[in-house]
Amino acid sequence: GNNVRRVDIKTGLIELFAGLDARLYPAEQGTSRPYPGSNVSLLGYHGDGGPASGAAFHNPEHLAFDSRGDLYVCDNFNHRIRKIDMGSGAITTIMGTGWPSSSGDGGPAVEAGLLLPDSLFIDVQDNIYVGEKYGYRVRKIDAATGTVTTVVGTGVPGFGEEGLLGPETTCNACEAGLWADPDGTVFWGDQSGRLRRCDGATGIVTTVFGGTGVGDGGPAADAFLSGPGGLCASSDGTVYIADEWSHRVRAIEPRSGLVRTVAGDGAKAYGGENGPATDAYVSNPFDVSLDSLGRLVIAEKMGGFLRRVDEDGVIRVIAGSGLQLDRGDGGPALNACFYQVRAVAHDAEDNIYVGDDIGRIRRIDVESSTVSTVAGTGIRGYTGDGGPAAQARIGAPAAIDFDGSGNLYFCDRAYHMVRKVDTRGIISTVAGSGTAGFSLDGTDATDAMLDRPTGLAVSLDGTVYFSDTGNNRIRAINAEGRLCTVAGSDKPGDAGDGGHATIARLNEPRGLCLLGDGVLLMSDHFNNQVKAVRVSGGQ
């Protein structure tokens, strides 16, 4: 809504406090569309010097009060920190020029540039601390002088070394979790899955918890993962993991059991094409897939493109222009646009299939690199069963896999179902009624309620396994077309290793893949683990 609202603690009533009475249509579900007239979506920047009730914001997120009770707002996409005087109601900008630039240290805050401020804290002395999402810094406005300095960060994204002075160590985006003690010690939630600390007396940075490394070179069971997602395995048994919040792709060696990083240096950013994949920036990898030559394709959900790690360890863009749009069918993959890629898979001929949140599955031809649509129209929905998949509406394909006959299966996490596109291009539903919920084992799969299925693995004999993510279970469709639970139980958690899989506890399982002779691997997303269960139907 691009505004600030207030809840009266006595009456419990909510009211508009700052900003304009508006709707943000892109955030709404269903068929809602903008219309002319009052109460339409409004975002922007204006109103400084006047009442806050008449000001415009662009994605305000974080709030803080100073010792006088005045309110400060992180106006993210306006690249400003704004202050509302609680006495007069007037709003002013106290930091940021509006231009996206992390600059101005040593000068007044009102003349400094900010690059997407995304966290905010005011200490007991009224010093103001700001974390910049894409400036990769934590900065401070001195209460006495009004000048700006950098507390932590070089402006270059990175995992960050221990024992360096704050302005000499890299850090990741500081999106939430910022605190300063009275002595000037600053804590921040780094987007590498750690809480870090800059000492107020020495200025030295250390990690409070979350690990000073990710465990590369050691046993996989001792390594740190952070939000693992998609999985795939090579013919020699090497397992690849999209380690989403570590901003890396990891691999587990089959003989030694050791873990290593295949792509990403831990920074939440974009870059590094045509160089070593381990030095590149890989931002929020969601899924991975291997071709027959062992080349690894990575789906980064926010980038608008696909990248591949080749046999020489070099990372290259193979599809997408970097613009998050929906266009390009019939043309070369490098000129095509993708909106938000969450799923990637290869068929038996090494053609690449891409699941896009815009409501499409697209195919990249291995010979010509031409893009075409396999399923979906680009308008989200649930239609088309029994007809051509390219004319059907689908939601958000989050995982794709193939059976031994070449039929394509995908999880639609938006409409809570698993659907199939056969080799003739005809679409059908194999699990899910389209309604979020939970259904007991034994329910006909097409009548069942599922909750955000996000992972999928289809065995060569046609057994379909999927992550019933919101229900914290791994389910399968048996020979009679009914649901059965493979792993997980009625409560989320992390328990049951070594015991029967159906009484174990999982916490939003996501990626799946079959390994060897009937072993199903699963990403236990919020437990930051990869787990295994023996099943039939191995490949």
For residues 237 and 234, give the distance between their C-alpha atoms in angstroms, rounded to a whole number: 5
Cα–Cα separations (whole angstroms), residue 474 to 70, 498, 531: 50, 17, 11
The neighbouring-strand residues paired with 534 are 519
Q: What is the pLDDT along the chain (539 residues), one digit of tens a residue?
A: 789 999 999 999 999 999 987 666 656 666 665 554 444 446 788 899 999 999 999 999 999 999 999 999 999 999 999 999 999 999 999 999 999 999 999 999 999 999 999 999 999 999 999 999 999 999 999 999 999 999 999 999 988 889 999 999 999 888 889 999 999 999 999 888 889 999 999 999 999 988 788 999 999 999 999 999 999 999 999 999 999 989 999 999 999 999 999 999 988 888 899 999 999 999 899 999 999 999 999 999 877 889 999 999 999 999 998 888 899 999 999 999 999 999 999 999 999 999 999 999 999 999 999 999 999 999 999 999 999 999 999 999 999 999 999 999 999 999 999 999 999 999 999 999 999 999 999 999 999 999 999 999 999 888 999 999 999 999 999 989 999 999 999 999 999 999 999 999 999 999 999 998 789 999 999 999 999 999 975 44
Give the up-direction half-sphere exposure of residue 343: CA atoms within 13 A in the CB hemisphere.
33
Report whether 528 contacts 537 (CB < 8 A): no
Which residue is listed with tokens 């013919």? 235
**4-11: long-range contacts (C-beta < 8 A, 24 or more apart)?**
4/52, 4/57, 4/60, 4/63, 4/71, 4/73, 4/84
pTM: 0.87
**Helix, strand, coil shares of the chain as percentages rounded to 5?**
10, 40, 50
Q: What is the Cβ-side half-sphere exposure of residue 299, based on CA atoms within 13 angstroms?
A: 30
- Measured distance CA(336)–CA(323) in Å, rounded: 9
How far is Cα 488 from Cα 515, in angstroms, rounded to an integer?
19
Cα separation, 127 vs 147, in Å, equals: 10
Tokens of 429: 């539903």
